[in-house]
A and B are shown apart, each in its own frame.
Chain A
Amino acid sequence: LDPDRIRRAQHGDADAFTELIEGRIGAMTRTATAILGHEADARDAVQDALVAAWRQLPHLRDPNAFDAWLTRILVHRCRRGLRHRGVARVREIPAQALAFDDGPSAPDDLAAAERRAAIGRAFDRLGIDQRTILVLHHLDGRPLADIAEVLRIPVGTVKSRLHHARIALDRALRREGGR
C-alpha cells in the first residue's frame, strides 16, 4: 500500500493510478473470473471497476482502506455483470476439457476429475453473493475480518454467509450428481 501514490491519484495523477493498479490487476482478474466463471466478462468487470475507482477515488477518505474499497467496487461490478447477463447463457466448455490423454486414465483420476467438474457446475448454480464470499475466502484467502470490511458486514454475518454458501454448494452438488 502506498498512501502517497494513492493521494497523488486522488488529485488526478493518472500515472500514479496506473502504478497503483498495475500490481493488482492480475489478482482482480482472477477474483472476477472465479466469481463470474467467464474470462471475458471478468475482464470487462475489472476494467469497469478500475474506471469507476478512478472516478470515485477523490471520495476515498482513508487511503489505508484502498484495497478493501477497490475489492468492494469489483464485487459490485461482478454483481452488476452477472445481473445483466442473468438471462440465458450457454455453458462454455474449455478446449482443454475436451482433449484426450494418450493413454487410459486411472478410474480414480477420472472420478476425481468428474467430481471437480460437478463442483464447478454446482458453483455456477450459486447466487452472486454466495460465489463472492466463497471466492474471497477460499481463493483469495482473505481472513473473515477482511471480508467483513470489503462487504461492509459484521464478521458474524460473514461466518453465517460462508456457512450458507457451503450448504448451498453441497445442495447444488447433489443436484448435479443426480441424487
Chain B
Amino acid sequence: MTGRSVDDRELEEVLTSRAATTSRDDELTLLAAVSGRVRATRQDRVLPLMPRRWERVAWVGSVALALVIGLGLGILGPRWLAAVGSTASALPSIAASPSPALTFPPRSPSPIPSSWVPDGNRVPLLPEQLAAAIPQREGQLVIVHGHMSSSRLPCPTGPAGCWVGTLAGFDGPPIFAAADADPGWQGGASGYLVLRIEDGKATYVGSLRPHDERVGPWPTSELARLDPTDSAGWLYLAEGSVSTLQCGASDRCLYQLTTPGSAPKPVLLADRPAGPRIQPGMSGLLIVQPMTLSTCDSLPPDSLRGCAGGPVAGWGLVGALTGPSALRTQPVPTCDRVEGDLCATVAAHAVGETPDLVAIDVGLFGARCPANARCAAPPDGGYPYEVVATLADGSGRAWICTADATGLSCQPRFGDDQSALVPVRIVVEGVASRYVVFIDANGSSFDLVVDGTTTVQLTRGRWDMYSTDVPPPGPPNDLCPGTLDVQPGSQLELRITVTNGACSHAIGLDVSPGS
C-alpha cells in the first residue's frame, strides 16, 4: 500500500489536512497577543541593544581611555571596570550614569546556601538513584540524566490541567512541572533534566541546554553572545562568580556573573520572582535562565527620574551546584520521535559503545506501527528499530535493535562496529537531464568520478532509482557490482558518468569503509 511514491495530490491533501485552517477567533486571539507584545517591544531602531558601529567605536575608545586613566590613578575598583567594560553596550542608562558604582553594602558574602548544594552523590543522577536521593535533597535542585514522556493531567493545584511526566527508570510518583517550567517539555524531554525536590516530591524545572552538544558549563563570554530570544525555555549551566553591580535598594540589585579568564565578559544577573535570592560571592556551577531585566529597578531612588534603561536581556538564578560533578565530560544523547523507555535504553546502550555520541535517532525498521511511538514497548516484543547514532565528528553509526521483555538487543546495522552512514551527494550526467541524488545502497554498476578525476566503482547491494525529471523506474534491485572505499564521516561530491542506463538513477548508499 505504501510502496508507491507519494504523488503531488496526496501530498497536498495531507499537508492541507495537517495545517487545518485556524478559526477566525484563533486568529484574532493570536493577533491580540502579538499586538500586545509589539506595543511592549521596542524596535531595534528605537532602543538599539547593540549600538551602531560608530557608537561602539566611540564607546570602546572612551572606555579604553577611562581604563588607562583609571588604572593610572588607581581609583577604579575592579567591579566597576568589569561592569563598564562588558555591559555598557547593553546598559545605556548605566553607561550614561556619572556614578555607576553607587551600591548598597553587599549582602554578607557567603557561600552558596547549603539548601541549594547537593552533597553526596555526583551529579547528574541516574533515574534509578532519584528515589534514594529525594529524602536527602529536600529543598535542592538535582540533575537527572534521563528521559521523560509527558501527558496532560488534572493538576493537584491550579485552575486547569497541567503536565505530568513519567521518568523512565524511576519507580516513584509522576513528576509534575513547575509553573514556570520549560514549555518545550510538554511533549517530553530527554537529556539533563533539572528537578527541584520539595515536600519529598520532585518537580520538573527545565532541561539544561548543552554547550557544544555537551553538558559543560557555559562561560559567561558565550552566554553574553546569545540572543535571548534564542535562549528561551532552556536552563543554562554557567560557571563563574557573582558580584553586585548596583542596587536601588537592598532588595533591588543587579549582579554580574563573571567567568575568570583572559577576557572576562560578565553577564547581568537578577533575582527571579520565584527563585532563590542571589548571594554576592557565590561561585561555582550556577543554573540560570534567560530573563528580561529593567535597569531602572536597580538604580538608587535619586537616580530614577528620567531613567530610560531597559528592558535588557539578562539572566535569572534558578539554583546552584557544587561538589563532585560529571557534567563537564558527558555527551548528551537525545532521542527524536521516541518515547522515554526505549530512548533511555538505547541511549545507555549507545553511549556505552560510542563515547562521542551526541544524538540518537530511532525509527521503526521493518515493521508497521500505526502509532509510531506506542511501539516502544510492545507486550510481546519483536519490533525491530533502526537506531542511528550521530558522533561528535559528524559521522554516524547504525544498529538494528529489538525490544522484548528482557530488554533491548542491538546488532550493528552493517555487520560490524565500523559501519558508518556517510551522506554522499552525487551528480549524475549522461542521460537527458542532470540528477542530484543520494546514494543509499551498497552498490551500483556505473563508474563514479570523484571530483572529476577519480573513478570509483560501487559494489554489493541495492539501489533505488530516481531523477528530477524522470519518474522512478521501479523498485530497487541488486544488479550493480563494484567497490567504494570511504572513511566514516567522509563527505563526498561525486560525479557519475553513466555507462549503463539501467543504473543511471541510483540513490542512496550505506557505506561500509574498507569493505
Contacts and interface: CB of A to CB of B under 8 A. Distances in A.
Contact of A14 (B39, B343, B367, B437): B39
A87 B188 contact: yes
A154 interface: no
Interface of A: 10, 12, 14, 17-18, 21-22, 25-26, 29-31, 33-34, 37-40, 43-44, 46-48, 50-52, 54-59, 80, 84-91, 93, 111, 114-125, 134-135, 138-139, 159-160, 163-164, 166-167, 169-171, 173-179
Contact of A169 (B11, B17, B31, B148): B11
Given A17-B38, A52-B229, A167 B507 contact: yes
A111 B2 CA distance: 10
A3 to B, nearest CB: 18
B340 A25 contact: no
B37 A30 contact: no
Contact of A89 (B11, B13, B337): B337
A12 to B, nearest CB: 6
B363 A175 contact: yes
B31 A18 contact: yes
Given A115-B10, A119-B14, A160-B468, A56 B2 contact: no
Nearest to B147: A88
B229 A87 contact: no
B21 interface: yes
Interface string B149-179: 1110000000000000000000000000000
A124 B337 contact: yes
Contacts of A39: 20, 22
Contact of B2 (A125, A160, A173): A173
A166 B5 contact: yes
Given A21-B31, A115-B10, A119-B6, A14 B188 contact: no
Contacts of A57: 43
Contact of A25 (B31, B338, B436, B508): B31
B38 A115 contact: no
Nearest to A93: B371
A106 B8 CA distance: 24
Given A54-B38, A90-B339, A171 B11 contact: no
A178 B431 CA distance: 33
B379 interface: no
Q: When A and B form their complex, which 4 residue pairs have the shortest distance between CB atoms, in order from nearest?
A: A177-B2, A178-B368, A58-B45, A88-B188
Given A18-B35, A30-B22, A120-B18, A84 B43 contact: no
Interface of B: 1-3, 5-6, 8, 10-22, 26-27, 30-31, 33-35, 37-39, 41-46, 147-151, 183-184, 186-191, 207, 229-230, 233-234, 334-340, 343, 363-374, 386, 436-438, 440, 464, 466, 468, 472, 507-508
A154 B76 CA distance: 55
B364 A85 contact: no
Given A86-B334, A87-B335, A119 B43 contact: no
Given A88-B147, A120-B14, A139-B16, A176 B30 contact: no
> Which secondary structure characterizes the binding site on chain A?
helix
Contact of A30 (B21, B334, B335, B464): B21
> Which secondary structure characterizes the binding site on chain B?
mixed
B30 to A, nearest CB: 6
B187 A89 contact: yes
Contact of A170 (B5, B46, B336): B5
Given A139-B19, A166-B6, A87 B367 contact: no
Contact of B188 (A58, A90, A176): A90
Nearest to B336: A86
A120 to B, nearest CB: 5
Contact of A114 (B1, B8, B20): B1
B338 A88 contact: yes
B190 A87 contact: yes
B163 to A, nearest CB: 11
B367 A21 contact: no
Nearest to A82: B336
Given A51-B34, A58-B44, A87 B14 contact: no
Given A114-B1, A177-B1, A85 B187 contact: yes
14 contacts: A18-B38, A21-B34, A30-B19, A54-B38, A88-B343, A89-B337, A91-B371, A114-B1, A116-B17, A118-B1, A170-B5, A171-B440, A171-B508, A178-B2
B510 to A, nearest CB: 12
Contacts of A89: 187-188, 336-337, 373
A139 B10 contact: no
B336 A25 contact: no
Given A119-B6, A175-B363, A31 B41 contact: no
B45 A12 contact: yes
Contact of A37 (B18, B229, B507): B18
Which of A88, A122, A159 counts the most B-chain CB atoms under 10 A from its CB?
A88
A66 to B, nearest CB: 15
Contacts of A160: 436, 468
A123 B6 CA distance: 11
B214 to A, nearest CB: 15
Contacts of A34: 15, 18-19
A174 B466 CA distance: 15
B456 to A, nearest CB: 22
Contacts of B508: 171
Contact of A51 (B37, B191, B335, B367): B37
A123 B335 CA distance: 17
A71 B374 CA distance: 35
B147 to A, nearest CB: 6
Contacts of B2: 115, 118, 173-174, 176-179
Contacts of B234: 84
A80 B209 CA distance: 13
A12 B12 CA distance: 39
A76 to B, nearest CB: 10
Contacts of A80: 230
A116 B13 contact: yes
A119 B34 contact: no
A173 B6 contact: yes
A50 B36 CA distance: 11
B147 A164 contact: no
Nearest to B191: A87
